[in-house]
Amino acid sequence: MADHRAGRPARLAPEGCLAQRAPTARPDGQLQAVLLDRDGVLNVNRPDHVTRAEQWRWLPGALDACARLTGLGLRLAVVTNQAAIGNGLLTAHELDRIHDHMAADLAAVGVPRPVILHCPHPSAARCPCRKPRPGLLTGALDRLGVRPAQTLMVGDHETDMMAATAAGCWSLHVRSGRGGPPAAQPGCLGSVPALREAAELVAAFATTDWRRPPLPRPDGRHPGPGAARKKEGARP
C-alpha cells in the first residue's frame, strides 16, 4: 500500500515483504524480478472496478503463470492504480481484503505473498505514484532489492509501459485486459496474449543476458531458447 503523505510508498509488514529475505543468487544480467499490473493481467478487468473480494476472478492461466515465474527464482510485485479509492467507490480496508484473497490463492499454488503497492488517487491528482509516473515501480524495486535493468513490467495498458520506461525497466504488454498493443515505448519487448504467454517467454529466456533481450514476434510468438543461443553466438 502506498503512503502519499510523504510521496513515498509505505513500509510493508515483514510477512508481506520479499525484500526481507536474502535475494536469490542469479548471474549478473539475468532477469531478477517481474512487476505485475493487477486488473487485466491477474484478474478479470471489470468496467465498474473490483470493489469486493467476492468479485475477484482470476484470468485463465494467471495463477499457474505466477507459480512458474517464482519457480524460476524470480521475485514478484503487484503495482496497481486504484483510483476507485479516491473516487469513493472502494475503501482501503476492502482493498486489503481483496489483496488478502489474492495472496491466499497464490499461496495455495506455492507462491509467496508478493510486494503489493497501489496508488489510490485519480489521474487529476497527478500523484507521482500513479502510473504512467514511475513511483509505484521504483517503490517496488526498492523493496525487492533489484535493479531496473533486470526487471520486467507486465501490463495491459500503455500507462504500464510508460511507467516502466520512466523507471528504467523492461516491459511486456498483454492483451488480456484493455485492448491491443500500445504505441511503441523504449524497452517494450512487444505484446503477448496473456500472463501465461508472458511467463513462457520469460522461462524460454531465463538464462539470457537481459541487457540484450530477444524480442517476441509481432504475432505474440517467440523463438525458442535454441534460436536465442544461435542469435547470441552469431558473428557480425
pLDDT in tens, 191-203: 999 999 999 999 9
| Averaged pLDDT, 205-232 | 52
Domain topology for 27-233: Rossmann fold (3.40.50)
The residue ranges of every structural domain in the chain are 27-233
Q: What share of the chain is helix, strand, coil (3-state, %, to 5)?
A: 35, 15, 50
Query: For the chain, how long is the longest CA-to-CA vector?
Result: 59
Dihedral (Cα; 149, 152, 156, 160), 10-degree rounding: -30
Distance separating alpha carbons of residues 151 and 75, to the nearest angstrom: 9
What is the amino acid identity at position 50?
V
| Averaged pLDDT, 46-64 | 95
Q: What is the pLDDT of residues 40-54, one digit of tens each?
A: 999 999 988 999 999
Please say if the pLDDT value at position 85 is more than 60: yes
Please say if the pLDDT value at position 129 is more than 80: yes
Q: Would residue 28 show up in a list of annotated catalytic residues for this protein?
A: no
Q: Would residue 37 show up in a list of annotated catalytic residues for this protein?
A: yes
Of 37, 96, 142, 219, which one is the catalytic site residue? Answer: 37
Residue 82 and residue 95 in contact, taking contact as beta carbons nearer than 8 Å: yes
Position 11 confidence tier, pLDDT thresholds 50, 70, 90: very low
Residue 127 and residue 119 in contact, taking contact as beta carbons nearer than 8 Å: yes
pLDDT value, residue 182: 75
pLDDT value, residue 170: 92
Report how far apart the first and last C-alpha atoms of the chain are (Å, whole number): 48
pLDDT value, residue 208: 80
Of 3, 39, 156, 209, which one is the catalytic site residue? Answer: 39
pLDDT value, residue 26: 58
pLDDT value, residue 93: 95
| Averaged pLDDT, 220-224 | 43
Residue ranges in the chain assigned as alpha helix (H): 62-71, 83-86, 92-108, 135-144, 158-167, 195-204, 225-233
Please say if the pLDDT value at position 168 is more than 80: yes
Please say if the pLDDT value at position 146 is more than 70: yes
Position 173 confidence tier, pLDDT thresholds 50, 70, 90: very high
pLDDT value, residue 224: 37
Residue given cell 504475432 in the structure block: 219
Position 187 confidence tier, pLDDT thresholds 50, 70, 90: confident
Q: 29-40 b/e with 16+ CB inside 10 Å = b?
A: ebbbbbbbbbbb
